[in-house]
Amino acid sequence: MAIAVQGSGFGKGSKLVRQPADPSQTGHRPGLRAVPPGLHFVSTPIGAARDITLRALDVLAGADVLVAEDTRTLRHLLEIHGVPLAGRPLIAYHDHSGEGLLARLLGMIAEGKSLAYASEAGTPLISDPGFELARAAAAAGVPMTAAPGPCAAICALTLSGLPSDRFFFAGFPPATRAARIAMLSGLAAVQATLIFYESPKRLPALLTDLAATLGARREAVVCRELTKRFEEISRGDLGNLADSFATGGVKGEVVVLVDRAPESAASTESIEAAIASALTTMSVKDAASFVSQTLGVPRKLAYRIALDRMKRQEASHAL
Ligand code: SAM
């Protein structure tokens, strides 16, 4: 099957798109709304600068302290939207910044300050820093909320035309081939649309390995430069997409999505392994439902395997 390539045709700027200097055009008045104390995760645009919510701008305008993965990117975004820094601290933070800075940030929240955290682009924590901060804030019991917004994975899923009822976000596959093949093989039977982030340089290798591990006939989609001027969606099966991108030279950012495995692709070994793992935390009934849904195998089959396993375990304990 040939691949179909579709551009957005909206002619947006390839970089961050400036919005008019007059903030009244968006109805946004920076700094007029008080931001409650606590940690505020703020999603930022993945291309078009106007893809920021009014609430995100309110939080960025009103928070006592701004924290960012990349302070230059956040400064630029504030400038585009006419949000003044007004002498507020702008602190660089990522998940490897260390315990000291983490404790300092939590300390500020404990003192009653409001902190806004933004990653380089899109939603913090989604293949971006923020997890350690969220975990520490949750453990400390400090107030925490989010101003949700752009996320490349969700934007790509929306445009892919692939089933959206269940999806599995796999993030960036490993860079080395052996580790990548191992990871992809583990996803072969998953009953959900698979979503991968990848660098344009490694896209040809990923598509080749996907075709080899999941089968060349699986439907897939490559979404490139979402929300930007050269937005492009390429649809086809993995074999065709691998051929089409084989020469490399791809530019910009990409998300790769793959349709779910055909039903019954799961081997008996993988069903038994999934049941064994599920039974460590679930009842026989729940484990059977869970495995039947995730691997797309008949519930009766999963139930029988779970029951047999449980009986064997009980018999061995009785000895
Ligand atoms: N936190 C971001 C989010 O919410 O999507 C993801 C950050 S991750 C470091 C960057 C990866 O996201 C890129 O390598 C690419 O796979 C994907 N990505 C980000 N922006 C994109 C865009 N405009 N078009 C396509 N993919 C994009």
Domain ranges of the chain: 23-147, 153-258, 268-318
Q: How far is the CA of 127 from the centre of ligand 1 (A)?
A: 8
For the domain made up of 153-258, the CATH class stated in words is alpha beta
CATH of domain 23-147: 3.40.1010.10
| pLDDT per residue of the chain (319 residues) written in tens, 0 to 9 | 467 787 755 543 334 444 444 544 555 555 556 899 999 999 999 999 999 999 999 999 999 999 999 999 999 999 999 999 999 999 999 988 989 999 999 999 999 999 999 999 999 999 999 999 999 999 999 999 999 999 999 999 999 999 999 999 999 999 999 999 999 999 998 999 999 999 999 999 999 999 999 999 999 999 999 999 999 999 999 999 999 999 989 999 999 999 998 876 677 888 888 899 889 999 999 998 888 877 777 788 889 999 998 888 888 877 7
Of all protein residues, the one whose alpha carbon is nearest to atom 2 of ligand 1 is 122
Ligand 1 atom at minimal distance to the Cα of residue 153: 5
Alpha-carbon distances, residue 82 vs 51, 52, 122, 209, 248 (angstroms)? 15, 13, 20, 45, 39
The helix (H) or strand (E) run that includes residue 193 is strand 193-198
Ligand 1 pocket test target in 12, 46, 51, 159 with most atoms within 8 Å of CB? 46
Locate the ligand 1 atom nearest the alpha carbon of residue 126 and give its number: 1
